[in-house]
Amino acid sequence: MAIKVIPALDFIDRKIVRLSQGKFDQVQYFDQSIYDYLDLFKRLNASRVHIVNLLAAKGEPLDLNFLEELSRFKGPLIQYGGGLKDIEIINKISSLFNKLVIGSIFDKSYQDLELFLESINTKIVIAALDFKLDADQEPQFMTKGWTERSDHKFWDLLQFLFHQGINDFILTDISRDGMMMGPNFNFYEEIRQKFPDGIIYASGGVSNIHDIETLNSIGVDYVIVGKALLMDEINIKEIAPYLQEE
């Protein structure tokens, strides 16, 4: 058993939500708080949790007080994403969380990106490259909360970041995200072949234990599961062994 499951919690105004295909007009709210879920994952000995501030991802200001509060939770390590576009902010909170998930900033020019990456600790960065497939089935990098398409060629950008010292990549097919229709297995097979040494996180569409087992057979390192867990489509006890790092 190689693959590990990382539960995902997205929030708006400190409330747990899930979107469908990244659409903010299709928001589903959940009654339980972030801490209710963190307590659950702690009881299951989960190693990590993926937490995203959706409004910050769209460009609204970060709630730094809340991030500091979250970082004090004694339980699974947190990889945090949303609104991480400023070097000063990134360096300020880099000590708060296990990993920082950064995405839209990678829409900058390659020259600007080199300067940016020289100014932060790339070892704690997970590059989040969210994509849509075009008519030719080529991935297109989407930014600003999945609302705009980048001019960067997807594969060129991934290669650039890898050579700049980033090893971890969350790759989300946003047409699958929140739809529980299964991941884009063909894409993950391709990415595994192109980047055999990269640490690959699959995200989007996972709906059952068989999806996780298939991703495992492909050689994916981690899978991020959100809506299927919150909606009890996946039995949390069934995936408990996948939640713990070896």
Catalytic residues: 10, 130
C-alpha to C-alpha distances, 189 to 106, 123, 196, 218, nearest whole angstrom: 23, 25, 10, 6
Number of H helices, E strands in the chain: 9, 12
Task: Check the CA dihedral 197-199-204-207 and report its sign.
Answer: positive
Parallel/antiparallel/unpaired status of strands 125-133 and 139-143 = antiparallel
Judged on CB neighbours under 10 Å (0-12, 13-18, 19+), 44 is: middle
Taking Cα atoms as reference points, which of 145, 131, 138 lies closest to residue 10? Answer: 145
CA distance 116 to 106: 10
